[in-house]
Chains A and B, each alone.
Chain A
Amino acid sequence: MPDKKLVILVVEDEALLLLAIVKKLRVSGVEPVSAESGRQAIDCLKTLPKLPDGIWLDYYLKDMDGLEFMEELKKNPVWANIPVMVVTNSASSEKAHRMLTLGAKGYMVKSDYKLEKVVEEMIKIV
């Protein structure tokens, strides 16, 4: 039987948070692919045999921010269709608004939600 597990690309530069997210996704039956920077995530998209079903995106990354990452995604029409959930610690409603305008499907503040809830929302949008 072909592997029907959802694949989520997790872009998060905080090692411990990435560890937690990857673990929770696995426990929830989702296959995580992790990237610790925006550039690494873009490379993943280029090299993965199959595109991920969704992207879990931290807003502040070491090499770029969420807006720049979304711009990168838009450069490739195939990538532009991958649903993106922004999971960040920045609670600015302006940022949230801009990300949603750019096509993000959701915007969640990390410390406000249980990991289980974020995973649940992530699965909903893909």
Chain B
Amino acid sequence: MAVGNMFVVAVLVLVRWRLWKTTKQLKARLAEAEEDKARDEAMLGSLGEGLVVLDTDGNILLMNPMAESLLGWTHEEVAGKKWDDVAVLETEDGRRIGAEKRATKRVLTSGKAISNDKNYYVRRDGKKFPVGTTAAPIIFGDKVIGVIAVFRDITREKYVDRAKSEFVSLASHQLRTPLSSIKWFAEMLLAGDAGQLADEQKQFVENIALSNERMIELVNGLLNISRIESGRIIVDPVPTDLGQLVREVAAELEKKIKDKNLNLVISVANGMPKVSIDPKLVRQVYMNLLTNSIKYTQPAGRIVILISVKGREVVSQVSDNGYGIPKREQARVFTKFFRGENVVKLETDGTGLGLYLVKAIVESSGGRIWFESEDGKGTAFWFTLPLAGVAAKKGEVTLT
């Protein structure tokens, strides 16, 4: 009997011990889960961007403290309400954007993340701010179960962007005005409009005029770069005969080619189709490459331009047997203000902006550019343009 009792007690102790252990484990897991949740909440709370989670009907499930602060609503006040009514979205001129057109709705059908920085949120107090948003569908298994969006106030970015545009426009006008004045007065002095100049006087004025032309070229180059960097360039593709374009460029440079007695060969593959590119932009590419070949090739040298089709690309080659680019400098060829050590003394004229601009144009046209060069033997540049053409882009400015 005593043995039987002891057995029962032992079993009870064991059961109790197991229960205690299981409870302890459960408590630990619960604590872990609580900690995880608190950590997630802390992360969302510390996020510098507004974050909102919606169900597939556009009802608010979650809003982080930054979203609360940006919009002026607390999560408790708006949980379960339509996001479209809480964060009213307007265009710059104050027209409300309907729920169907908002990224948070469109991602449900597109299944992909959508970003936008063109519109404005209206806060609870009625004030507006420009907003940058990225919305993405939440996919669980293979079903879209909701939408997650992050957003931020981009007032500062808009301001900087505008300031940059204004600077470019101001610089364009303000810097060119005194340069025009110097150009025109120097021209009149040289033309004898204010009486004949002595030889040395003439030489001095010619030097002024030459330096001024370099300054004009530099201002134009910098403006072009600032325009292309700002992404505000208009791309206006039209079906273009590249052979004709390159011949026009060569015709413009004819005097310089003749002055150095250079031999220029232009060869365009038979049956070359017209390519839909912006001729004003691509013209700058040929112009810069050919000008470089002319400048950096010794008199009586040879320049070859070849245009052909390779796969889905049009490949243009501009090569010369000129001074070449030293090996150690080749990595810097496409950087701003680069000028080869071996040529700066030979050719003082040059801004070091041409190839940087050329690369920017080629790449923004969906092409590639590369080169091979050997010091003292010559240089060949190649660039491609998509045979299918370039997409049009509504910008605000063109290159000069």
Among A16, A24, A60, the residue within 8 A (CB) of B193 is A24
Instruction: Give the total number of A-B pairs whose CB atoms are below 8 A apart.
Output: 66
Q: Does B267 contact A (CB under 8 A)?
A: no
Q: Does B270 contact A (CB under 8 A)?
A: no
Question: In the bound complex, what is the Cα–Cα distance between A60 and B180 (angstroms)?
Answer: 15
Among B173, B188, B193, B396, the residue within 8 A (CB) of A89 is B173
**Of A34-42, A48-56, A75-83, A108-116, the one with at least 4 CB within 8 A of chain B:** A108-116
Closest Cβ of chain A: how far from B180's Cβ, in Å? 4
Residues of A within 8 A of B179 (CB): 111
Closest Cβ of chain B: how far from A111's Cβ, in Å? 5
Question: In the bound complex, what is the Cα–Cα distance between A90 and B176 (angstroms)?
Answer: 9
Q: Does B263 contact A (CB under 8 A)?
A: no
Residues of A within 8 A of B183 (CB): 110-111, 114-115
Residues of B within 8 A of A114 (CB): 183-184, 187
Among A23, A89, A116, the residue within 8 A (CB) of B176 is A89
Q: Does B91 contact A (CB under 8 A)?
A: no
B187 touches A89 (CB 8 A): no
Closest Cβ of chain B: how far from A122's Cβ, in Å? 14
Question: In the bound complex, what is the Cα–Cα distance between A81 and B169 (angstroms)?
Answer: 31
B188 touches A24 (CB 8 A): yes
CB-nearest residue of chain A to B193: A27
Q: How many residues of A contact B (CB 8 A)?
A: 22
Residues of A within 8 A of B398 (CB): 91-94
Question: In the bound complex, what is the Cα–Cα distance between A109 and B223 (angstroms)?
Answer: 14
Q: Does B181 contact A (CB under 8 A)?
A: yes
Residues of B within 8 A of A116 (CB): 187, 191
For residues 165 through 196 of chain B, which have their beta carbon under 8 Å from a beta carbon of chain A?
Answer: 169, 172-173, 176-177, 179-181, 183-185, 187-188, 191, 193
Closest Cβ of chain A: how far from B263's Cβ, in Å? 30
A20 touches B400 (CB 8 A): no
Q: Does B228 contact A (CB under 8 A)?
A: no
CB-nearest residue of chain B to A91: B400
Interface of chain A, helix or strand or loop or mixed? helix
Residues of B within 8 A of A14 (CB): 177, 181
Q: Does A17 contact B (CB under 8 A)?
A: yes
Residues of A within 8 A of B400 (CB): 91, 109, 112
A17 touches B180 (CB 8 A): yes
Question: In the bound complex, what is the Cα–Cα distance between A21 and B179 (angstroms)?
Answer: 14
Question: In the bound complex, what is the Cα–Cα distance between A90 and B173 (angstroms)?
Answer: 6
Question: In the bound complex, what is the Cα–Cα distance between A115 and B193 (angstroms)?
Answer: 12
A111 touches B193 (CB 8 A): no
CB-nearest residue of chain B to A87: B180
B185 touches A20 (CB 8 A): yes
Closest Cβ of chain A: how far from B282's Cβ, in Å? 16
Q: Does B61 contact A (CB under 8 A)?
A: no
For residues 219 through 266 of chain B, which have their beta carbon under 8 Å from a beta carbon of chain A?
Answer: 219-220, 234
Among B181, B184, B216, B219, the residue within 8 A (CB) of A24 is B184
Q: Which 8 A-B pairs have the closest CB atoms?
A: A89-B176, A110-B180, A91-B400, A20-B184, A115-B184, A93-B398, A16-B181, A111-B176
Can you list 7 A-B pairs with a CB-CB distance of less than 8 A?
Answer: A14-B177, A89-B176, A89-B180, A93-B280, A110-B176, A111-B179, A115-B183
